[in-house]
A and B are shown apart, each in its own frame.
Chain A
Amino acid sequence: MSTVVYSSPFVPAEWIAAHGLRPLRLRPGAGAASVGPVMGMCPYARAFVGDVASAAAIVNPGRGGSPDPAGNAPAAGWHGHAPLRGHAPAESGTHGHATSRGHVTRPLASDPASGAAGRVADSPWRETRRAQGAGCPPGVVINAVVLTTTCDQMRRAAEWLALGGGPPVFLMNVPATWQTPASARLYRDELQRLGRFLVRLGGAAPSREHLADTMEAYDARRAALRGALGALGAREASEAIARFDAGEEADDAALRDLVRGGSPDPPRSGACEKDREHTYAAGQETRRARLEGPSVPREGPQTRRAQAVPLALVGGPLAREDVRVFDAIERAGGRVVLDGTESGARTFPAPFDRRRLRDDPLLELGDAYFGAIPDIFRRPDTALYQWLGRELAASAARGIVLWRNVWCDLWAAAGVRLREATGLPVLDLDVSGEEAGFNRTADRLQAFMEMLK
């Protein structure tokens, strides 16, 4: 089964699975951050690209200098990309980067319509060195990558990745605005375009029933995960979500059958919501309800330590090794009672409305993801701050640890505002993805805890 790797929570796993492909939301390994320019590039984006490259046994050799012993490219010596055959000036009508499927990507071997032959042979990914500590799960063969426009760094990383000889890349347009019918429609259109990409990759376009069944199965699994999270410590919860995203807990026969195209009895859970018209106004209602809906699961009482300072961890995505931040917080005398990172339960889609799911599953899918996930890139970003207000109050967190990757402008701008909006002390952690940097992080956490105690 082909594996489609993605990063953003706005890529619905069930949409990929319904096409008969394996979705894998990758948490890259920080050790794979050995490609690309260091200055100005988000370490998470570098790590993601590095992981994909490593899994494909390809590492960018286009840089001019030699890597240092840790495998990091020299900042000044990196020369970007190897020759890009197939480039044509814009006036020629072939649209510069030689794509024909509507996104930055190299051609699929199995896609006769894609054109632009000759790119792979002269790829920037010629070297076949595996980056030390590469984070892609062992044995996984990546057949395609889906990135989104939710941040400039990943948008450009998609192009950068696509210029190489690695797996084909699909750049999905996720609108920043969300209050208009046009933005919701654009998201759904992009899902359909993604669907065509998946079909070209060897997938099968799902029937409405099959899509609905797949969505129900995922919804049930997600509900079970939500329930389970409450009994776990913060690190374990984060790792459980990572396993869910990687499909590693998907050994149940029902899901396997669904992914293969069967249609077992869908799991039943939850009552049907009130019937609604599939209008934008109704969608807005649904979104509002979801944004005020189920709280993020929090630690169960059995894992609570009364003496520890309750904290919220808020911010961007975690690389795989980053779960150690939960340990570092505990060692410093705190505990995470709210995981508001991009890798946490904050970015779960809303539960599906079972009736709407059957009437128009794609519409429901769009609403549950685009209409419900609060995130930093959205304009305006009011839903994120509403979510934080609600969840921080419910969790009784006494401080916020802002987890932001260096060069991530979106989260960098949030530090002072978080303080203003919540009235809580905020520790602004800039994360470089480097070991030495984490030691500094641990020291800063210790100091923050001492201040809160």
Chain B
Amino acid sequence: MTVAPKRLTIEELDRLCRRRQAAGAPLPAYVGPLARHVADGDRRLLKLEYDDSAAALRLWSFLLTEEERLHAARAAGRKIVGTMKDLGTVPVMAYALPNVVAFYPDGAWWTPCVMELSEGLFGVAQSLGLGDAFCPVRAMAGAFVNRAHFPIPDLLTCSVGATCDDFSAVAQRLESLGFPILWWEIPSRRAPEPGEAAVTLPGGFRAPASQVAMVRSELERLRAALAELAGAPLGDAELAAGIREANRVRAVLGDLRRLAYTADPCPMPALEMLIAEMLAIHFCSDRAESVAVLTELVAEVRLRMDEGRGVVPAGAARLFWVNPVADLRVMNLLEDCGARLGGTEFLFCHALDAIPEDVPPMEALARMALADPMVGPSADRAARIVRDARTLGAEAVVVSRIPGASHCALEGAVIGQIVRETLGLPVVELEVPPVADPMWPTLKTRLEALVETVMERRKR
């Protein structure tokens, strides 16, 4: 007899952890009870509900120990690169070097959520002139100043140009505080003119070859800086090997997404899928372990599919989710409302697509960088969402707005309109703050209404 997976409280998950430890199960050293992180201030963990698998336990432990890995890397003499904004490109280059670790300081945008605002990062940001009008990524500035989270990187890079103003302004403020930044340009992606040489990018967008060449020249500056930092050459051979390894992560994640977003009943909860997808952008500071974590998740999903087990009943409304949520708990809410994930676009689909291996590595990386959905028109992004939602069989789209983000005011409207017109799917826009508890009734009502709409449409 098989038992349906269920969501666990943190106490239940920690009991599972201790049972596995007592049983002598082979566990990576970083796996342990999540309560230790609560003791460090990660209070939101107490309110989340977790998948009940060993794979999920490993995923959470891997995620929550990243800062420890970074500090250990520093202690071991490895160089640390803080890569800001590009979400997926520069880490591929950095991890091609043996003694370099890369991470996204941007990830601090979730710290106020995880610590339920107790960490004071927004307060520090406010004192720097980065108030509530900015997206929660302003927490990153606080983390640099109070030095209580990640180690200060040896090299800090930031893509600018066709990026959101919030980020550009926050990063510039950081530089003014004495954190030097290697700025690199990512131009606003445009469609090729008639007769203009063009390139198809990973994911299907097309861009002028001249824009790809421009990005490539910018990435060459990064290559030189990384090699200088590492004291080792970063040649095409090393980069090609790095791309192959990154593609391994992407391939496993691709399997996981395809299975988790299409199987019925849904074999993996939304919250764990959000975390799993985040591994693609910088491997949570350990590329090889990322592959292992994702592989175990895929195995769990396949097992559940074979046994017909799911985390929600079969036939749950399939929602396509756009943008990451500032409050992780909202992913739980989605399932509480009778829905499941039926696809995602968390702002970094370019970090999920395979990087071309049949062109020179710098060309491949430039194409990937230019495929970033944020550097092109919202209509491009909408087209990608339409394509993926159609492929995955999504029944509705949720555009989750990020409070204060400069891109959210207009792009949600554009995406919503195009999805409605092209697919005829219902669309809702929600704004999710870092701790959404005060808005819980509103969010719940809107998601429930969306689920009801989906169910009604099925009757037609």
Q: Which of B160, B164, B217, B390 contacts A379 (CB 8 A)?
A: B160
> Which of chain B's residues have a CB closer than 8 A to the CB of A409?
133-134, 164-166, 168-169, 404, 406
> Which of chain B's residues have a CB closer than 8 A to the CB of A93?
200, 204, 206
Name the interface residues of A61-113: CB closer than 8 Å to any CB of B: 62, 78-84, 87-91, 93, 95-104, 113
Q: Please state if B413 and A81 are interface contacts (CB–CB under 8 Å).
A: yes
> In the complex, how many residues of chain A place their beta carbon closer than 8 angstroms to a beta carbon of chain B?
70
Interface presence of B358 (CB below 8 A): no
Name the interface residues of B125-163: CB closer than 8 Å to any CB of A: 127-131, 133-134, 158, 160-163
Q: Please state if A102 and B208 are interface contacts (CB–CB under 8 Å).
A: yes
CA A187 to CA B367, docked complex, whole Å: 20
Q: Which of A95, A177, A189 contacts B183 (CB 8 A)?
A: A177
Q: Which of A62, A89, A377, A410 contacts B386 (CB 8 A)?
A: A89
Interface presence of A41 (CB below 8 A): yes
Which of the 9-residue segments A147-155, A289-297, A303-311 touches chain B?
A147-155
CA A189 to CA B412, docked complex, whole Å: 31
Residue of A nearest to B187 (CB): A173
Q: Please state if B418 and A95 are interface contacts (CB–CB under 8 Å).
A: no
Residue of A nearest to B216 (CB): A182
> Which of chain A's residues have a CB closer than 8 A to the CB of B386?
87, 89
Which of the 9-residue segments A157-165, A218-226, A237-245, A328-336 touches chain B?
A157-165
> Which of chain A's residues have a CB closer than 8 A to the CB of B245?
none
> Which of chain A's residues have a CB closer than 8 A to the CB of B377?
96-97, 104, 159
Q: Please state if A96 and B383 are interface contacts (CB–CB under 8 Å).
A: yes
Q: Please state if B410 and A41 are interface contacts (CB–CB under 8 Å).
A: yes
Residue of A nearest to B407 (CB): A152
Q: Which of A81, A173, A410 contacts B165 (CB 8 A)?
A: A410
Interface presence of B203 (CB below 8 A): yes
Q: Which of B184, B191, B411, B421 contacts A99 (CB 8 A)?
A: B191
Name the interface residues of B161-208: CB closer than 8 Å to any CB of A: 161-166, 168-173, 175-176, 181, 183-185, 187-188, 190-194, 196, 200, 203-206, 208
CA A185 to CA B213, docked complex, whole Å: 12
> Which of chain A's residues have a CB closer than 8 A to the CB of B184?
177
Least CB distance, B389 to chain A, in whole angstroms = 10
Q: Please state if A95 and B191 are interface contacts (CB–CB under 8 Å).
A: yes
CA A104 to CA B190, docked complex, whole Å: 7
Residue of B nearest to A416 (CB): B129
Least CB distance, A245 to chain B, in whole angstroms = 24
Contacts known (A102-B196, A153-B165, A379-B172); A177 close to B206, Cβ less than 8 A:
no
Interface residues of B (CB under 8 A from A): 127-131, 133-134, 158, 160-166, 168-173, 175-176, 181, 183-185, 187-188, 190-194, 196, 200, 203-206, 208, 210, 214, 217-218, 221, 376-380, 382-384, 386-387, 390, 404-414, 416-418, 421-422
Interface residues of A (CB under 8 A from B): 36-37, 39-41, 62, 78-84, 87-91, 93, 95-104, 113, 149, 151-153, 155-157, 159-160, 163, 171, 173, 175-177, 180, 182-183, 185-186, 189, 193, 196, 377, 379-381, 406-410, 412-417, 420-421
A-B contact list, 14 entries, CB within 8 Å: A37-B413, A95-B191, A97-B379, A100-B194, A102-B196, A104-B377, A156-B407, A159-B377, A176-B161, A186-B187, A379-B168, A380-B172, A409-B406, A413-B129
Known: A156-B407, A159-B414, A380-B172. 20 other contacts (CB 8 A): A62-B417, A79-B413, A89-B390, A95-B192, A95-B383, A96-B382, A99-B191, A101-B191, A102-B208, A104-B377, A149-B187, A175-B185, A176-B168, A177-B183, A177-B185, A186-B214, A379-B172, A409-B406, A410-B165, A410-B168
